[in-house]
Amino acid sequence: MEPRIIPASDNAISRAARLLRDGALVAFPTETVYGLGGDATSDRAVARIFAAKDRPRFNPLIVHVPGLAEAEPLGEFDERARIAARHFWPGPLTLVLPRRTSGGLSLLASAGLDTVGLRAPRHPVAQSLLRATGKPIASPSANRSGRVSPTTAAHVAAELGKSVALILDAGPCPVGLESTVLDLTGRLPVLLRPGAVTLEQLAELLGNIETLQTASEAPRAPGSLPSHYAPDLPLRFDALEARPGEALLAFGAEAPPGFAEVLWLSRAGDLAEAAANLFALLRQADRPEFTGIAVMPIPERGLGRAINDRLRRAAAPR
Ligand code: TXA
Ligand code: MG
């Protein structure tokens, strides 16, 4: 069965919802990246997701719901969690909370942890699909494990091919970087993955936030393994001078000379624009005619933190 890319009309969304209720996998757009969705209450559907992604079993999946009302039965919300959800949902924030056993979630989705990652995406297609399906949807990014996340329907088809029944197409994802993952199971909130909701925004709402650098425990988000999100070519960041044959991801008005190709993350030096372009341009630069991918310095603030996090992982030795 060839994957079918279908514009996300009301009809297509109804069809996708039926497929999901029947245990099939559907790829759909969110404001961050495209997700590979399956019924989060079905072990079989969740197992299919792991198989399609070729993902190590220990990596838990984010469970997607339309909003706080649908999330409450699945996780234990304390006051902090409610405040965060009310402020940032629907939107690009995943909350890791103690899992409620009465919620009926597949244990496989949490990869054996007694916690659950919950997120209410704000993309209108994701919202309609979740409401039409009427079930929590487990959904990792719709790429094979260890590859960069897809921000267009064509990326999804290239990554997952036949294992997905339907790909709902709503054009490029507006944010382009995965959601922020915030662990609220301990006394202090811990930022497990920087993302579209910034550390600064979270700290303003919740006060002191630990990051994985400051937290004493081993990484709790396996997606923060160093070599996640890897292109095939070597990647070099903070690049200010060309090396022979490299492609450059440029940021700001001027690119240094001598690169084999220059692709602009943002000419205006705009971090949101750079985030939205990052994964598509990484794919575009990841071609055998280049010797490597160089990236100009990106400021370590706001969304720049999430961009640099993904770049550091893409540059990590494998
Ligand atoms: O923006 C996004 O979050 C996208 C879209 C599709 O919603 N999804 C996504 O899922 O990026 P995925 O599976 O590629 O990344 C999920 C991250 C992983 O780093 C995973 O380890 C972490 O969230 N995570 C999920 N549940 C968790 C849990 N219970 N405890 C700790 N980390 C968890
Ligand atoms: Mg992913």
Looking at residues 86-111, what average pLDDT do you find?
95
Q: Is 151 in the pocket of ligand 1 (CB under 6 A)?
A: no
pLDDT at residue number 215: 46
Helix H or strand E encompassing 63: strand 62-64
Average the pLDDT over each of 190-194, 239-243, 275-279 and give the range with the smallest value.
275-279
Cα distance between residue 250 and residue 264, in whole Å? 5
pLDDT at 227 over 80: no
Looking at residues 287-298, what average pLDDT do you find?
97
Q: Is 126 in the pocket of ligand 1 (CB under 6 A)?
A: no
Give the angle subtended at the CA of 248 by the CAs of 236 and 152, to the nearest 5°: 100
pLDDT at residue number 47: 85
Do 289 and 247 form a contact (C-beta atoms < 8 A)?
A: no
Q: Token pair 């341009």 is at which residue?
A: 281
Q: Is 113 in the pocket of ligand 1 (CB under 6 A)?
A: yes
Give the rounded percent of residues in the chain with a pLDDT score beyond 90.
Answer: 75
pLDDT at residue number 43: 87
Cα distance between residue 119 and residue 265, in whole Å? 27
Looking at residues 291-315, what average pLDDT do you find?
91
> Which ligand is the nearest neighbour of the Cα of 123?
1
Looking at residues 249-259, what average pLDDT do you find?
97
Q: Is 250 in the pocket of ligand 1 (CB under 6 A)?
A: no
Report residue 219's pLDDT band, with 50, 70 and 90 as the boundaries: very low
Looking at residues 38-43, what average pLDDT do you find?
95
Cα distance between residue 298 and residue 309, in whole Å? 11
Strand spans (E) along 68-199: 93-98, 115-119, 137-138, 166-169, 180-183, 190-193
Report residue 16's pLDDT band, with 50, 70 and 90 as the boundaries: very high
Considering only CA atoms, give the Rg of the chain. Answer: 19
Nearest CA to ligand 1 atom 22: 221
Nearest CA to ligand 1 atom 32: 221
Sequence-ordered list of residues with C-beta below 8 angstroms from that of 219, at least 6 positions apart, any chain = 192, 212, 225
pLDDT at residue number 146: 84
Average the pLDDT over each of 23-27, 56-60, 82-86, 269-273 and give the range with the smallest value.
56-60
Structure confidence by residue, pLDDT tens digits, 56-89: 666 899 999 999 999 999 999 999 999 999 999 9
What are the strands of the beta sheet with 292-295, ordered from one edge?
Answer: 235-236, 292-295, 246-251, 261-266
Looking at residues 248-252, what average pLDDT do you find?
98
Nearest CA to ligand 1 atom 26: 117
What sign does the CA torsion over 85, 212, 32, 307 have?
positive
